[in-house]
Structures are given as structure tokens and as C-alpha cells.
Structure 1
Amino acid sequence: LTKILKVLTPVDIPEFKFPENTAKKDSLTRLYQYVYNKDHYWDNVDFSDDRLLRTAFIEQKLSDFFKNIVLMNPDSLTKEAVKVCELAKKNKYFFQYVVVYTTNYFETSQIMGMDRIFVNLAERYYLKNECWWADSTILRKIGERVTKLKPNLIGEIAPDLKMEDTAGVWHQLKYIKADYIILAFWEPNCGHCKKEIPKLYEYYRTVRDSGIEVFAVFTQHELDEWKKFIREHNLDWINVWDKYNFTNFRNLYDIYSTPTIYILDKNKKIIAKRIGVEQIEKFIQYDRKNNTKK
């Protein structure tokens, strides 16, 4: 009971004092309080005692830590996730629980970019054989998931694609000149695509002369249906398909559903992935504004 109560005890944050003439003293105080709370968040948890895992408090504490304490940044989250995993090594079952929780938490997160933390943790623990509970099947599945995610993580250069359009003309992604490239994977018989692709085109019509291009990849092989949809909706952007199945785009971009949309910057770096059509305009506006400030 004492250990459980200790887990529930908030971090005792000391009072930070600065000279009266310190610039932005209140902001500095809040920063010091935040850092202290984060750095000492796990002080009251005895990671050597796996009996704590029979309560709901460890899961609650992990959830609160990653949702509310750590800055929503892949580097910060990776650092803190590794820190708590290392602390949990004091007990094999605690270590198992924390590694399983954190890898699953970031793999299934709906927040864009969190898959990088999953990849980092999987490579550090599962793929280096530190997970005693993981059999060959688990390791194979995690390895396959890491392999599919690594090429398309935010911040990576987008894998190049060279594909034909409806007239048999070749287009290569790396040679497209634009400030932003919207890379859309879709197919005309997908119910969601039927709604979203026309919406994407309506947006494209308003920005096509402002450095934004669309590289739209047809993911199937029913050529007549594809061409018909293009004609009916006047999709006069770059329409391409992998006629000979040479590009391996499904694995390179982790395409398991459609539509799947990525946004690339002028250097072909992935800056957004699996983004909804309705979010694209605000995302690009925000990114442009930030780049203007630099």
C-alpha cells in the first residue's frame, strides 16, 4: 500500500527563485517547473516491484506522461520513452510491460509523426534481442512493420517514383518542380476516394499557380475506370500508375488503404503523411508561414 500511495504522490516541485530584474521571470519559472516535473516524474515508482503492475496506476501514469508531460516532439518523446524503459530494467516483468506499452502506444497513435518513436523503440529493444518475451513470430512482424515505416517517416526524403500517365508518358517524382507536392494514392472504386479526390481537386484548382503540385498515383489496374474518373472530374494534375509493378510503392509508402496522402516540400522531404484532404490547406499555410519567418 505504501508503494502504491507513493506512485500516486505528485512530484514535489521546489520553489525557483530568480533576481527581481530577471527578464520574463514568470515564463522562466514555468519552464524550470516543467523540466523538474518531467525529470523527476518517475522518482516515486519502484520499478523493481512488479506487484505495482497489478494496479491500474502504472498504465495511468504512462498515459499521463506521454500525453500531458512530454513535449509532442519525436526526439523528446523518444528520449523520454527510452529513459523509462531503461528504468524498468530493474525488473524483467516491469521492463516487458513498459516496452510493450510504449511501442504499442506510439505505433497506434493517431498523431502524425509518432510512428518514428515506434521505429526507434522497436529497433532499440525488439530488433536487438532485448525483449525476452518476444518469439520469432513477434520479432518478424515487428521487423516487417519497421521496414515498411522507415522509408516514409516524416523528415525523410520521399522514395522516388517513376510512373506512366494515361498517355504512356513517364513522370518521375524527384524531377517535379514545386514548393509543395501533394502525393495522393487512390483508386476510383474506393468509396472514400470518390468523395475525397474531387475535394482535393477543388483545392488544387485554387492553388495550382502558387507552387503546389499533385502527383496522383492510381493504385490498381482497371485502366478504363481510372480514365473515366479522371475525365468526369477533369483531374488535370499529374495522373500516373505503376503499369509494370516496378516501383514497390505499396511497401515504400505503406499503402494499405486509400486514399493515402503525403505532403512533400520542395526538396522532396516528407513533411506530412496520412493527412486528410480538409487539413491540407491549413497545413501548407502554416508551413509556409513558418518558413517565411526563418
Structure 2
Amino acid sequence: MNKKKRRLIMRTIILAVLALALVYTLYANFTKDSNQTIKKGDTAPDFALVDLDGNKHKLSDYKGQGIFLNFWATWCKPCEYEMPYMDNQYQHYKDQGVQILAVNVDESTLAVEKFVKRHNLTFPVAIDKGSQVLAAYGVDPLPTTFVIDKEGKVVDVLSGSLSEAAIQQHMESIKP
């Protein structure tokens, strides 16, 4: 009898723990979209990241300029597809008050440096170690780009790979 009682208690505890885990998982999944997703019209959250050259980039330092904020990864083929187009448009718009800041999502410095070198990218590339900026912006699919005007307001949120014409159009729209 004593063995049966202990077994029943253990099974009940295990079942309760599993039920709590299930409830927590459901709660987390249903509330994650409302937690922090930056939308069109929101003020872009400020952050500071260091690029591959050791330069610090703070979003608020770009006030008065348009920002093309791109979240990407080296393994992401759609990200790789749009990078040369972004670089072409960066060359055209950087002296007109529109900047690109590419934020890599927590990959090794070596992998990111090899990618940047292979594609001859000239715009600033920073690595979001720990993915705090990614979380602050609520980025889910990659690539995701936030088009931010000179006042720091998000003009558009773009998911997926962009054509060069689309990049040019969005950069033109945030030119001061």
C-alpha cells in the first residue's frame, strides 16, 4: 500500500508539472505578439551597437537622417540576395542623409566578416550579441527592414527580400 501511495503522489506531481509547463507555453505563445512588435508609426527604440570596424552606432545619433535598419543573418538566402542592392543604394544615398545600418542576429564575428568581405559591403554592419535589439524590435522573419524617418518614426516595416527598385523607393521616401 505504501508503495502505491508514493507512486500515485509522484505521478500526480509529474502530471502537475507537465500541466503547468503546457499552460505557460500557451500563455507565452499567445502573448508574444503583443509583447514588443514595432509597427508603422511607432517611434523606433534607441539602441547602441558596435560595427565590425569598432565604431559605435546609436540610433538616436542619426536623428535628422533617414535610416534603413536591416536585420539579417549570413545563412539567410533572401538576406544575401538583397545585400548588393542595399550597398548600391547606400552609395547613392549616404551623402543625401539616408543611412543603412545592418544588424546581424548574433552570429560569430568571423562569419559576419567573411560575408561582408565576400559581398564587398561598405555600409555599417553590427552584430546584435544576445539578440537584445532583435527582441526590442520584435523581429521574427529574416530579413526584416525598418524604414525610419528623420524624426525617428517607423515609416514602414518590410519582411522578406527586397528588389533594388524597392530599396531605392523606400530610401527616397525617408530622404530628409
CA contact (8 A) 2:93 2:171 kept: no
Answer yes or no: is the 8 Å Cα contact 1:262–1:272 preserved in 2: yes
How many residues get paired? Answer: 151
Shift in Å at residue 286 of structure 1? Answer: 4.9
Partner of 1:208, secondary structure, is: helix
Equivalent residue number for residue 108 of structure 2: 222
Shift of the alpha carbon at 1:178?
4.8
Indicate yes or no: 2:101 matched with 1:206.
no
CA separation in 2, counterparts of 1:231 and 1:185? 18
> Given the alignment of the two structures, is residue 277 of structure 1 paired with residue 165 of structure 2, yes or no?
no
Q: Counting strand residues as a fraction of each chain, which structure ranks higher?
A: 2
- Structure 2 SS opposite 1:257: coil
- 5+ residue gaps, structure 2, are 1-22
For 1:177-228, what per-residue CA distance to the aligned partner results, in whole angstroms no more than 9, with x for missing partners? 5531000011122111111111111122222211110011011322112111
- 2:101 partner SS: strand
**Partner amino acid, structure 2, of 1:171:** H
TM-score of the two chains, using structure 1 as the length reference: 0.46
TM alignment of 1:137-176, pairs within 5 A? 140-149=28-37, 152-176=38-62
- What's the offset of the Cα at 1:160? 1.1
Q: Kindly provide the CA deviation profile for residues 138-184 of structure 1, in whole angstroms up to 9, marking residues without a partner as x.
A: 665332211132xx111111011211111333221111255310000
> SS of the counterpart of 2:96?
coil
Code of the residue aligned with 2:149 in structure 1: it is: D
Q: What residue is the counterpart of 2:152 in the other structure?
A: 268
TM-score, normalised to structure 2, is 0.73
Larger Rg: 1
1:234, CA displacement in angstroms? 2.5
Q: Distance in 1 between matches of 2:25 and 2:110?
A: 41
Counterpart AA for 1:280? I
Query: Which letter does structure 2 place at the counterpart of 1:264?
Result: I
Higher relative contact order (CA 8 A, sep 6+): 2
Matches within 5 A, 1:173-212: 173-212=59-98
SS in 1 for 2:36: helix
Q: State the SS of the aligned residue for 2:99.
A: strand
Change (3 A) 1:219 1:287: closer
Any conservation in 1 of the 2:147–2:174 contact (CA below 8 Å)?
A: no
Are residue 256 (structure 1) and residue 143 (structure 2) matched? no
Runs of 5+ consecutive residues of structure 1 not aligned to the other structure: 1-134
CA distance in 1, matches of 2:56, 2:88: 25
Percent identity between matched residues is 25
